Amino acid sequence: MRRLVALAVAPIAVAAALAVPAPAVGVQSTSHHKSWHQQGGDDSMDPAPPVLQASATRVAPGAAVKLTATAETEIIGGTWKVRDAGGDWRRLATWSSPDAHTGVVTKDVTARKEAGTRSFKLVAEYQDGSSVSNRVTVESVVDSSPSEPGSEEANRFRAVTWNVYYGTPVTELRPILRRLLADGVSVFLMQEMSNPDARRMLEQEGLDYHYVSYQWVVAWDPDVWSARDTWGKRLSPTSFVREDGRGPIYVDSALAHLEDRAGRTLEVMSYHLPPNVQVTHPQPERLQIHREAAATWRRLVGSSTADAMLYGGDDNVDENNGYLSGTSFWDYMRRSYTGLRQVVAPTGTISRYRRIDDFRTRGLLPGTGYTGNGGGDHKFFVSDFTWR
C-alpha cells in the first residue's frame, strides 16, 4: 500500500462579484494581499494588481479541505495559476480570466492534506498576453485537528459501494473518485477493479487500499482510518462457469480491519456475487454460491472482534423487486439469516428500479444515502453511517 498526497480540481464557476463564502464554524480564514511582483515595465503604467482571496472549509472530519480562491484582475485574457506553497508546489488550478470587464473568476480546489496540517498557503501567479507575471500570495488557515470525541460529526462517516465495471477508462473513473472524496467518503468498497491503472489511481489520489484476486478492492482515507489487518476470504467453495465458457470462477472478497482516531474498529468487506441468479432457471452452481456466501457472512459475524462491520458489494439480486421477490425464496440474504442489516440504495443501481448494490452492517446506523453515475453499467451507492 502507498500513501500519496493528491489534489483534485472542481469545475469553474464565474462569480458576479468578488465574494468569498463564510468559513465553516471552527475554521479560521485570512484573505489579504501579501506580495506583488512585476517583471518588466513601469509600475505606474500598469493596471491595479490582481487580487486573490481564499477561504478554507473542512469537508469531513480529518479528511479533505476545500479551498475556495477568488481572483480579480483588470487585465483581460490572461491566465491564473494557483499553487500550494506548503509542500511540493503542485499546481492546484489553472484558469483564464473571462472576456468581460469584471475580470472576476471563482475557482474551487480540493486539497488533500496530511493529518494535522493546519496552514494552507496559496500562491497565485497571473500571466497576461505580454508574458508579464504578477504574483499574489494568500494564506488560509484551517484547523485540522480531529473532532471532539462524542460529537455528532466524530461519530459519523461516509462509505461507498461501487462496481466500476471491467475496463472503464481511468479518465472516466478519476473525476468520479475525486467527487466522492470531496464529498467526504472515507471508505470505498469496490468491485471489478481489474485494471492496474485504476488501482494506481487510488494511490495517486491519496488512498490506501487492499486488492484481492482479480477484482475486489477495499480502500480508505488514511487521514481518517488506519488498517490493523487486511486479508482475503473465499465466500464459497463452489465455482461456476461464465456464459462465454470461461471458468472455473471462484467468488472471493477483500477485507480490512480498520481503526478510526477514537480507537473504534470496523471490519469492511468488498464482495461480488455471480450474476444471472434472479432468473427463472439459474445455473445451480451460481445459486449455491449465493447461499454459501450468505452462510459465510453469518460465520464471520459470529467470529468478528470489530466494534462494527460494514460489507458492501454487488449482490446481483434485488430481494424486493424482480423474480420471486414476493416470496420467502431470498430470505437467506436477509438479516435474520446473515446477522447483517441490509441497507439498500434509494434508487436503482443497475437500472431505474433494480437495486442490487447493497451495504450489510452490524453495529452501525445507516443514514442519508444517494446514488450516482459510476462510469460503467452500475451506479455507485453512498451512505452515511453512525456508530451505535
We report the CATH number of the domain holding residue 368 as 3.60.10.10
C-alpha closest to that of 378 among 268, 275, 243, 242: 275
Among 141, 172, 200, residue at a domain's last position: 141
pLDDT at 6 over 90: no
User: Which residue range forms the structural domain that includes residue 340?
Assistant: 156-387
Say whether both 164 and 310 belong to one domain: yes
Alpha helices in 230-282 (DSSP H): none
Considering the domain boundaries, does residue 111 fall inside one? yes
Cα(346)–Cα(154) distance, integer angstroms: 25
Considering the domain boundaries, does residue 146 fall inside one? no
Considering the domain boundaries, does residue 2 fall inside one? no
Give the global pTM.
0.68
Alpha helices in 236-380 (DSSP H): 284-303, 335-338
Handedness of CA 216, 222, 223, 227 (dihedral sign): positive
Considering the domain boundaries, does residue 1 fall inside one? no
Cα(272)–Cα(166) distance, integer angstroms: 13
Considering the domain boundaries, does residue 82 fall inside one? yes
In the block, which residue shows the cell 518588466?
40
Nine-digit cell string for 367: 443514514
Say whether both 53 and 137 belong to one domain: yes
Say whether both 220 and 193 belong to one domain: yes
C-alpha closest to that of 75 among 132, 136, 32: 132
Cα(22)–Cα(14) distance, integer angstroms: 18
- Between the ranges 99-103, 112-116, 235-239, 260-264, where is the mean pLDDT highest? 235-239
Is residue 128 within 8 A of residue 103, CB to CB? The reply is no
pLDDT at 285 over 80: yes
The CATH number that applies at residue 115 is 2.60.40
Write the Ramachandran bin of 181: left for phi over 0, alpha for psi from -120 to 50, otherwise beta.
alpha
pLDDT-derived band at 167, boundaries 50, 70, 90: confident
pLDDT digits (tens, 9 = 90+) for 64-99: 445 555 555 544 445 545 444 443 333 344 444 443
Number of domains in the chain: 2
Write the Ramachandran bin of 36: left for phi over 0, alpha for psi from -120 to 50, otherwise beta.
beta
Q: Decide: helix, strand or coil at residue 251.
A: coil
pLDDT digits (tens, 9 = 90+) for 312-351: 999 999 999 999 998 999 999 999 999 999 999 999 999 8
Say whether both 128 and 163 belong to one domain: no
Say whether both 72 and 174 belong to one domain: no
Say whether both 134 and 263 belong to one domain: no
pLDDT-derived band at 352, boundaries 50, 70, 90: confident
* DSSP summary character for residue 108: E
pLDDT digits (tens, 9 = 90+) for 201-218: 999 888 999 999 989 999
Nine-digit cell string for 53: 482571496
